[in-house]
Amino acid sequence: MLIVSKTSFVKLVFFEYKIIYDIIILIIFYSIFMDFPDILSKISNQKKASTSKMKVEDLFWSSKVESKTAKIWMNSDLTLWVYWEKKEDWVLIGLVNDIFLDAIKSSASDIHIEPNDKNINIRFRVDGNFINYKIIDIWMKDSIIARVKIMAYLRIDEHRLPQDGKIAYKLFWWKQIDMRISIIPTIYWEKCVIRLLKKDDKPPELKDLWIMPYNMVKIKKHLKDNYWMILAVWPTWSGKSTTLFSLISQYNPKDENISTLEDPVEYRIPWVNHTQINPAIDFTFARWLRSLLRQDPDIIMVWEVRDEETAKLAVEASITWHIVFSTIHTNSATHTIQRLVNLWVDPLLITSSLRMIISQRLARKLCTNCKVKYKASDKIRDYIVWKVWKYIKNKDEILLYKAHEDWCSACNWTWYNWRVWLYEVLEMTDKLEALILKNSSRLQLEIQAVWDWMVTIKDDWLLKVILWETSLEEILSVLGT
């Protein structure tokens, strides 16, 4: 009888299990080694298939990452490591991203990429004025314009004709900036202008738009009416759409059927029906208006009155018990009436529908750190008192502000920070309606409007200067003498 000690038995069992463990490891390694060529071929085939199925969208974002944080970073135009197979493009993509981000950081409204015979000049339009941003070597002109074209889904092989497009530029955390692209050929190369349009969920309040009390009373009075048409007028990029959305925000969209037609959609207000026009499929303002009137609307906002058909439909909609907001490009409130007549709108319909015209302009606001106080000269004081005497208490001594010689980093060394609104609100009266029906001149209409207590836009800017919001020099550069 064989007697084995406990220690020897344990060692024997351990040795046998170790042999089995080694055999299993050898089998696994052998199977991997034998199947390694097949694995390589499968990886190669999958890579080829994914490359052949790649779309243009794959150049800008990816949604194949499982982590929530990774999705946030991948779903952005700023992510460069998705281009790991094309490292030679990192410099170009990073350069274009830097241009976009610096423009957004500077609160620029437009980016101008302008080539010449020696280099590429890049400028930003900030608060209405140009700021020189960067000068780039001329050899990069093809790459920069091609990158913008790819992002805007434009033809990169077309260099002879103008092209227009749009970019939905994705930032981190699902933030997005809309960009409108315009490219035209020049003798040096193609010039590109990019307009930045921020998407906001909430428009500013009326009290934040520097509307003076004498104008605020008129606006709030007509917001209580059951039907009419309000027009916001002045040139491009004067804040007309911001004013209209601030007016619309005074209504409760849960109690009203509010519909807007825009190009592009800037604000996204909950419970408001926003629509984007598409001229490529003949979806225009006029066609939308005809269809919308069958949607039982209460409040309608038309982005812009551009032609005769849109003007007539907007006027007729306001007469048939609808509230209509819209914009039109004219130089003053009284010019708007003549513009509607030139669009072949019957003066009788104008007097029946139009209740208020808001003419406005944007001026740069003085930086609170750079502005300095000074006493107005006798000539300037006499002019201010003569124009707006009824709004001034102390007429003997008027203090104004101007930009200091030394600027600061708070305003990006420009003496100004953000903008201030200048307004001219024309309210329809019986005497004005009589003049319109007589086809009176613009001067006659303006004189009557002033007699009816309309404060002209130049008087409004004088009051903004007295309130130390802006300077005389800035107003003169915006409105002239």
Three-state SS across 166-215?
Answer: EEEEECHHHCEEEEEEEEEECCCCEEEEEEEEECECCCCCHHHHCCCHHH
Long-range contacts of 44-53 (CB under 8 A, 24+ apart): none
pLDDT, tens digit, 9 for 90 and up, residues 315-338: 999 998 899 999 998 888 999 999
pLDDT, tens digit, 9 for 90 and up, residues 232-257: 887 776 777 888 888 998 999 899 99
What is the C-alpha to C-alpha distance for residues 294 and 303, in angstroms, rounded to an integer?
Answer: 19
Judge whether 165 and 152 are in contact, CB under 8 Å: yes
> Helices 442-451 and 333-342: crossing angle, nearest 10°?
140
The more confident residue out of 297 and 84 is 297
Helix, coil or strand: residue 147: helix
Domain 71-197 and domain 206-479, same fold? Reply is no
Tell whether the model's pLDDT for residue 286 goes beyond 90: no
The per-residue pLDDT of the chain, averaged, comes to 79
- The H or E element that residue 27 is part of is helix 6-52
Sorted by where each begins, the domain ranges of the chain are 71-197, 206-479
What is the C-alpha to C-alpha distance for residues 205 and 102, in angstroms, rounded to an integer?
Answer: 28
Tell whether the model's pLDDT for residue 55 goes beyond 50: no
Q: What is the largest CA-CA distance in the chain?
A: 135
196 φ/ψ angles, rounded to the nearest 5 degrees: -95, 130
Helix, coil or strand: residue 46: helix
Least confident of 2-6, 206-210, 278-282: 2-6
pLDDT at 23: 65
Nearest alpha carbon to residue 132 among 474, 415, 473, 413: 413
Tell whether the model's pLDDT for residue 50 goes beyond 60: no
Q: What is the mean pLDDT of residues 221-230?
A: 88
What is the C-alpha to C-alpha distance for residues 390 and 393, in angstroms, rounded to an integer?
Answer: 8
pLDDT at 216: 92
Q: Could you tell me the end-to-end alpha-carbon distance of the chain, in angstroms, rounded to an integer?
A: 125
pLDDT at 11: 45
> Helices 285-292 and 308-319: crossing angle, nearest 10°?
20
User: Looking at the domain 206-479, which fold is it?
Assistant: Rossmann fold (3.40.50)
User: Looking at the domain 71-197, which fold is it?
Assistant: Beta-Lactamase (3.30.450)
Q: What is the mean pLDDT of residues 99-120?
A: 90
Judge whether 466 and 400 are in contact, CB under 8 Å: yes
Name residues whose C-beta falls within 8 Å of residue 426's C-beta, 6 or more positions apart in sequence.
333, 334, 336, 356, 357, 358, 359, 432, 449, 454
DSSP states of 90-143: HHHHHHHHHHHHHHHHTT-SEEEEEE-SSEEEEEEEETTEEEEEEEEEGGGHHH
What is the C-alpha to C-alpha distance for residues 459 and 359, in angstroms, rounded to an integer?
Answer: 13
